């Protein structure tokens, strides 16, 4: 028999730490297990994330919004014909479809300096939320550097390496890929940026790339991401390389209140 006055769970008396992190801390316990509310809360988040993986990106809408900014776009498709093939065949997500190849061949073939590629990846909501606002900061910066840019390439069912073929086609030394990252329970809309210097299709590997990840409302801000990316671009031009030999040496400026309580364990 349980006493009707006795609580069935034990609370953790450190709730105030939740102000510092989106992580699931101070959940309390039932015995030594998760309390019912925390358990169902997790299941709810998982259900939302699972459903989000399969929502297709509205490419026409994105194109329209970018065009309003005056940015030209070109929508391409990989050899992964649908989401199910895309999930099981990453190799096909790195190759352009025949019609997209033909489409690229038709576009102007003057040499360019940088290509900007946007791929849906594993989270269409990441691109839906963050691609347009980020590009509206990035593209003017690239134009200010007098870089010649082809249209922004929007790629359906694309993996990171799809940028290599596009950069190669335009003979551009700088390849910037914005892609939806695998959705997390607490961040279903996280965007990543992969930067590759002198990308070559089928030859460039992960070791040749620099990654800026976790761009979302509770993660890296657009300004922080932009600062890192522009640093990498400048350094890559200087060193003529990207990847593991190109280290991100920018400083992250945290908000003052976080800075103040940064080391509460060490005060």
Partner 1 sequence: MSCYLEHPEYLDKSLMYKTHITHQAYDFKTLRNLMAKATPSRSGDYLAGVGAVNNLERVAAQWVLADVPLKQFLNEALVPYEQDEITRLIIDEHDGSAFAAVSHLTVGDFRNWLLSEHATTEILTAIASGLTPEMVAAVSKIMRIQDLILVAKKCRVITRFRNTIGLENRLSTRLQPNHPTDSPAGVAAGLLDGLLYGCGDAVIGINPASDNIEATLRLLHMLHDVIERYQIPTQSCVLTHVTTTLKAIEQGAPVDLVFQSIAGTQKANDSFGINLDLLNEARLAALELGRGSLFENGTLGDNCMYFETGQGSALSANAHQGLDQQTCEARAYAVARKFKPLLVNTVVGFIGPEYLYDGKQIIRAGLEDHFCGKLLGLPMGCDVCYTNHAEADQDDMDMLLTQFAVAGGTFIMGVPGADDVMLNYQSTSFHDALYVRQVLGLRPAPEFEQWLQQHGIFNAENQLQQRPDVPVLFKSSLQNLSE
Of 4, 14, 70, 110, the residue at the interface with partner 1 (CB under 8 A) is 14
Q: Does 213 bind partner 1 (CB under 8 A)?
A: yes
Segment interacting with partner 1, rule: CB under 8 A, options 100-108, 148-156, 167-175, 249-257: 249-257
Which CB atom, from 39 or from 98, has the smaller least distance to partner 1?
39
Of 87, 101, 103, 241, the residue at the interface with partner 1 (CB under 8 A) is 87
Q: Is the dihedral of CA 217, 222, 224, 229 positive or negative?
A: positive
Strand partners, 175: 115, 196
Q: Does 256 bind partner 1 (CB under 8 A)?
A: no
Of 55, 75, 219, 230, the residue at the interface with partner 1 (CB under 8 A) is 219
Q: Does 150 bind partner 1 (CB under 8 A)?
A: no
Q: Does 20 bind partner 1 (CB under 8 A)?
A: yes
Of 5, 8, 251, 256, the residue at the interface with partner 1 (CB under 8 A) is 251
Q: Are 117 and 135 in contact (CB under 8 A)?
A: no
Q: Which residues of 113-147 are buried (b: 16+ CB within 10 A; e: fewer)?
A: bbbbbbbbbbbbbbbbbbbbebbbebbeebeeeeb
Number of residues that bind partner 1 (CB under 8 A): 75
Q: Does 184 bind partner 1 (CB under 8 A)?
A: yes
SS3 47: helix
Which CB atom, from 151 or from 182, has the smaller least distance to partner 1?
182
Element (H, E) at 225: helix 222-239
Element (H, E) at 101: helix 98-106
Distance, in Å, from the CA atom of 54 to the CA atom of 221, rounded to the nearest integer, reads 26
Q: Does 5 bind partner 1 (CB under 8 A)?
A: no
CB of 178 to partner 1, least distance (A): 16
Give the Cβ contact number of residue 195 at 10 Å: 25
Q: Does 198 bind partner 1 (CB under 8 A)?
A: no
Question: CA nearest 193: which of 218, 211, 175?
Answer: 211
Site for partner 1 in 24-83 (CB under 8 A): 24-27, 29, 32-34, 38, 42-43, 45-46, 49-50, 52-53
Of 113, 182, 230, 237, the residue at the interface with partner 1 (CB under 8 A) is 182
Of 81, 113, 237, 248, the residue at the interface with partner 1 (CB under 8 A) is 248
Q: Is the dihedral of CA 159, 163, 168, 169 positive or negative?
A: positive
Q: Does 187 bind partner 1 (CB under 8 A)?
A: yes
Distance, in Å, from the CA atom of 124 to the CA atom of 31, rounded to the nearest integer, reads 40
SS3 156: strand
Distance, in Å, from the CA atom of 168 to the CA atom of 111, rounded to the nearest integer, reads 10
Q: Does 22 bind partner 1 (CB under 8 A)?
A: yes
């Amino acid at each position: 028999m349980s006493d009707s006055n006795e609580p069935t769970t034990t609370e953790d008396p450190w709730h105030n730490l939740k102000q510092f992190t989106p992580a699931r801390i101070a959940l309390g316990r039932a015995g030594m297990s998760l309390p019912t509310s925390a358990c169902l809360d997790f299941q709810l988040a998982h259900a939302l994330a699972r459903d989000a993986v399969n929502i297709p990106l509205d490419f026409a809408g994105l194109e329209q919004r970018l065009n309003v900014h005056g940015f030209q776009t070109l929508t391409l498709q990989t050899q992964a014909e649908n989401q199910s093939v895309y999930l099981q065949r990453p190799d096909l997500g790195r190759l352009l479809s025949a019609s997209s190849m033909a489409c690229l061949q038709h576009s102007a073939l003057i040499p360019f300096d940088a290509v900007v590629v946007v791929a849906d990846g594993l989270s269409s909501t990441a691109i839906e939320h963050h691609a347009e606002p980020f590009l509206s900061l990035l593209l003017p910066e690239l134009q200010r550097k007098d870089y010649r840019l082809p249209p922004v390439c929007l790629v359906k069912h694309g993996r990171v390496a799809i940028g290599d073929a596009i950069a190669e086609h335009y003979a551009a030394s700088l390849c910037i890929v914005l892609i939806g990252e695998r959705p997390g329970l607490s961040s279903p809309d996280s965007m990543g940026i992969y930067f590759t210097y002198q990308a070559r299709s089928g030859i460039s590997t992960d070791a040749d790339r620099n990654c800026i990840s976790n761009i979302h409302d509770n993660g890296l801000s657009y300004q922080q991401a932009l600062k890192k990316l522009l640093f990498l671009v400048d350094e890559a031009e200087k060193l003529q390389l990207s990847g593991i030999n190109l280290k991100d040496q920018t400083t992250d400026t945290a908000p003052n209140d976080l800075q103040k309580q940064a080391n509460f364990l060490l005060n």
